[in-house]
Amino acid sequence: MPEDLTTAQVRVDADLCEGHALCIQLAPEVFDLSDDEVAGAAEAEGPWDRDTWDSIKSAVDACPRQAISLINTSTKGQ
């Protein structure tokens, strides 16, 4: 997982999400639930404070379908 809070992007795979909403319980400031009961990242890209980042990582770990991924969008070193 990227540790640079300013370069990570949160993605939810709608095909995998079953709407358990654990991510919303853990990080409501980042995730939301659509009318189709599929989770999404309302705020898909940081920067986030440490508490929010920890909540996002907990949501990734808690997702029973592993539908949440973090993408490092950093261009450092390129």
* Predicted local distance difference test score (pLDDT) of residue 42: 77
Q: For the chain, give me the number of helices (H) and strands (E)?
A: 2, 4
Residue 78 lies in a domain: no
Domain of residue 9, residue span: 5-71
Residue 64 lies in a domain: yes
pLDDT along the chain (78 residues), means of 10: 63 94 94 89 79 92 96 64
* Predicted local distance difference test score (pLDDT) of residue 69: 93
- Report how many domains make up the chain: 1
Residue 38 lies in a domain: yes
* Predicted local distance difference test score (pLDDT) of residue 1: 46
* Predicted local distance difference test score (pLDDT) of residue 67: 97
Give pTM, 2 decimals: 0.81
* Predicted local distance difference test score (pLDDT) of residue 44: 72
* Predicted local distance difference test score (pLDDT) of residue 5: 55
CA distance 24 to 12: 12
Asked if 36 contacts 73 with a C-beta cutoff of 8 angstroms, the reply is no
- How far is C-alpha 74 from the chain's CA centre? 17
Residue 40 lies in a domain: yes
